[in-house]
Structure 1
Amino acid sequence: MALLLAACALLGGAAAPVRLSAWVGPPVSGDATLLGAGPLLLGAGPLLLVVDPPTLSAYDVAAPHRAPPWRVAVPPAAGWSAEAAGDVLLLTERDQVRQAVATTARSMRTGAALWRRPERVYAVGEAAVAVSEVRSAAEPGRRVEGLVRGVDPATGGTRWTVRLPSTAVLEVLPGRPARVLLVQDDGLTRLLDARDGTVHGQGRLPPADYGPDNPQAVGAYLVLRHPTATGAALTGYDLPGLAPRWEVPVQRGELTLRACQGLVCAQDEHGRRALDPASGVIRWTWPAGARWHTVAGTRAATDALVLLRTAADGRRTLVATAGRDGPRVRGPLPAGVTDCRRAGSGLACRESASRVTVWPLGAP
């Protein structure tokens, strides 16, 4: 009861969390890597991937206890990341400092290898782009250099090429048409069609700490965190024209931006808040939100954030979601869960050293 009351207090009297239902997943080794990918096309669901070299196994997130639809051999690597470009799985191998070594495209339905490129390949809706990441042990992120190439997901062939004069930040804008935003170090910003490289918009953004979360694109708008003469600010821009729409001051210091169900969710040491990307108006605030950390994993801008924090008893973990309607504590996980990842609308974690459990979270 004390745990539930404490969780309610964190959200200012929100409904008490309930015990989450769970699907027992596959057994795994201590060296295995958990990844989520999808959703698939044609009504199929997302996959839970278990990389345990020399084997990659794909499980249906909605039925992780069943035998995997497919299992294939993979080369050894220090790390992995995965995305879906339509019905093609892009599996990237990484070295000890998280740099991309190569990307292999596989069928999401059968696991069959389709092609391989010695680059990081991003999914952009049903298209893809290949980039050379800037080497950085701290944060490879989306910072790229050299050439950006549009890739045909079916064949791995190059459709178009853009040469960068220095480094740039890559922002993926899925949708129809699927687009890529390139922000160069000098502020020159181009919005490219991911299918053919056509420039849909161009402008110049102010100097900023461009990185994995900055700028943040949400729908038809772009939000940038940047320094000003008196401190720092968030500025909203139209897409594709990049005309400024609004600006609001923010405190100096670390501020992380993420898309959450059509809003921009910002986190700093004081808490979390959500802004309307069209106007900069604050839709909700959550002072206790600074204590929660965001779960990693591929998701769309229309998805809520999934957040975790240690419960009041110091053993269990609380799960919350944050989206258009604000934050909501969903319930506690059992003691001892580790290595949590998003898997579609669910949360996949190691509940023990040798087994994975999936908690379906559904609508926020």
Structure 2
Amino acid sequence: MVERTAVTFIDLGELTEPTEPAPPLRTRRRRPGRSRTLLALLASVTLLVVAGAAPPTPRVRAILPAALAVFLSTEHVFTVVAQRGVTDGSQELLAYRRPEPTVGPPQPLTPLWRMPLGSFHGVQLVESVADGVLLILAPTGQADHNYAETLLLDGRTGQERWRRSGTGTLDPSGRLLLQTDAAARPDRLTVVEVASGRELWSSSAAWASYHEPHAVVVTYTPAGDIEVLDPATGAVRGRLSDVDEPSDRLYAAIAGDLVVVLRNPTTVVGYDLDGLVQRWRVSVTPVDYVTGCGDLLCARAHHGGTQLLDPVTGAVRWTHVTDADDVYIDLAGERRALAMDFRPSTPGVTAIDAATGRTAPDYGTWARVAGPGLAPYLLGVRSVAGGGLVLARLDPAQPQPRRIDVLAGAVDGCQYRAGLIACRRHGGDFGLWQLPD
């Protein structure tokens, strides 16, 4: 299977529409021995075996107080709550130490620190970094808060180290790609050193994304060009210009090692990310945009379903037929796809059969567990009799969901990251479980 990578969308112009667990082992009941010597010997052997056996695999189990939002990271767990003692809607960020593995009762968690957010910002992202916490505050539309801000906080105290306008994306080398909002500083990408906030280089760019497998930055410039840049220096490694084929319907996406461009509603062109050399050019039934969706590419029309394209050749492999405007394929393979159904009557993740292009009735509907979006599968949950949620791995390469756990007491609002899964429980608090391998 092709490894799934992060996919970024670039809107370059206006469009007309816009497991089951293994059964328990049966053990034979031993008949009582007649010899006390034999019993003593057996008891000694049993003690040796038990003493030498590995302990049971621990699961992280902890309870978080009720919160407006929860964020999981490699070093911390964060929540956003209403600020105490005020009535103006102000919020605060609470940081907790990531709970230790345990086989005992749920661990009580105590905040390490609190940071007031005020009433004008929402939290877009909280991420643990080396000796710090990266916090991105979303804009609210208020006159003095109409742009995003990115802050670095001290991981031990929550004290602010630096603050800059814009939304940041981390790369593995300790750099932050900071895309400023138009209200703050139009069309500008600034790359800064995370530890200090010092600017390393900047470039004119209306959109930018870092692609880890290829260690490049891909940008869309105000002039209409797609550029591939060196993340350390900003030097241009490749440029795809719109001058050769002017179009007012240009749309592009990055999927794996491919830049996919929708030149017009019926023409899709694929370019190698390395060098931006054209790989293929195909004609399709009119579509509104093209994105990566697992092993294939999804060319979708707002009315009329999705055509699944081969990223190597551009050929249409199969088609999802639907009249619904709110069913979106997320992951696709040769035989099956997973789709998000946003219709009020049937919300959740369903499976689409390639042979028919329609919903597979034997798969059922699952509530999606929010996650980082880099795996070639999804996680889903469903309610079980007696309470709680069954957790399953949803893989388009497999005919059925594989059930991997039961989350006792969980209700909804699940998310996973960095080996943890958090779900809202009855009463509004959140449970934390260790995500099974």
What code does the residue aligned with 1:90 have? L
Q: Specify the alignment match of 1:49 in structure 2.
A: 78
* Deviation, structure 1 residue 149: 0.7
Match of 2:421 among 347, 356, 359: 347
* Deviation, structure 1 residue 123: 1.3
In structure 1, the residue corresponding to 2:153 is in which secondary structure?
strand
* Deviation, structure 1 residue 355: 2.0
* Deviation, structure 1 residue 91: 0.7
What code does the residue aligned with 1:181 have? V
1:309-328 to 2 correspondence within 5 Å?
A: 319-321=391-393, 325=397
- Length-normalised TM-score, structure 2: 0.57
Q: Specify the alignment match of 2:71 in structure 1.
A: 35
Q: Specify the alignment match of 1:91 in structure 2.
A: 135
Instruction: Please tell me whether Structure 1 or Structure 2 has the larger radius of gyration of its CA atoms.
Output: 2
1:122 aligns with 2:158: no
Q: Specify the alignment match of 2:260 in structure 1.
A: 224
Write the distance in 2 (CA, Å) between the matches of 1:100 and 1:46.
Answer: 28
1:17-166 to 2 correspondence within 5 Å?
A: 23-30=60-67, 32-37=68-73, 45-52=74-81, 53-60=91-98, 63=101, 65=107, 67=109, 70-76=112-118, 77-82=120-125, 84=127, 86-87=129-130, 88-96=132-140, 100-108=147-155, 111-125=158-172, 126-134=174-182, 145-164=186-205
TM-superposition CA deviations, 1:195-240 (whole Å, max 9, x none)? 3222222223675564xxx51342xx124252546x354x432223
Write the distance in 2 (CA, Å) between the matches of 1:251 and 1:239.
Answer: 25
Larger RCO, structures 1/2 (Cα 8 Å, 6+ apart)? 1
Unmatched segments (≥5 aa) in structure 2? 1-18, 23-57, 82-90, 318-332, 342-348, 350-366
Q: Specify the alignment match of 1:289 in structure 2.
A: 339
In structure 2, the residue corresponding to 1:172 is in which secondary structure?
strand
Write the distance in 1 (CA, Å) between the matches of 2:241 and 2:339.
Answer: 33
Q: Specify the alignment match of 1:200 in structure 2.
A: 237
Percentage of identical aligned residues: 19
Conserved 8 A contact 1:192-1:200: yes
Q: Specify the alignment match of 1:245 in structure 2.
A: 279
Conserved 8 A contact 1:56-1:72: yes
Write the distance in 1 (CA, Å) between the matches of 2:21 and 2:150.
Answer: 41
* Deviation, structure 1 residue 79: 1.9
Q: Specify the alignment match of 1:8 in structure 2.
A: none
In structure 2, the residue corresponding to 1:54 is in which secondary structure?
strand
Q: 1:251 to 1:340 in 2, by over 3 A?
A: farther
Write the distance in 2 (CA, Å) between the matches of 1:227 and 1:310.
Answer: 41
In structure 1, the residue corresponding to 2:202 is in which secondary structure?
strand
- Alpha-carbon RMSD: 4.3
Q: 1:61 to 1:181 in 2, by over 3 A?
A: farther
Conserved 8 A contact 1:309-1:318: yes
Q: Specify the alignment match of 2:378 in structure 1.
A: 306
* Deviation, structure 1 residue 128: 0.6
Write the distance in 2 (CA, Å) between the matches of 1:113 and 1:92.
Answer: 12
* Deviation, structure 1 residue 16: 4.1
What code does the residue aligned with 1:239 have? L
Aligned residues: 315
TM-superposition CA deviations, 1:120-165 (whole Å, max 9, x none)? 2221223112122357xxxxxxxx942211111110111112124x
Write the distance in 2 (CA, Å) between the matches of 1:326 and 1:111.
Answer: 44
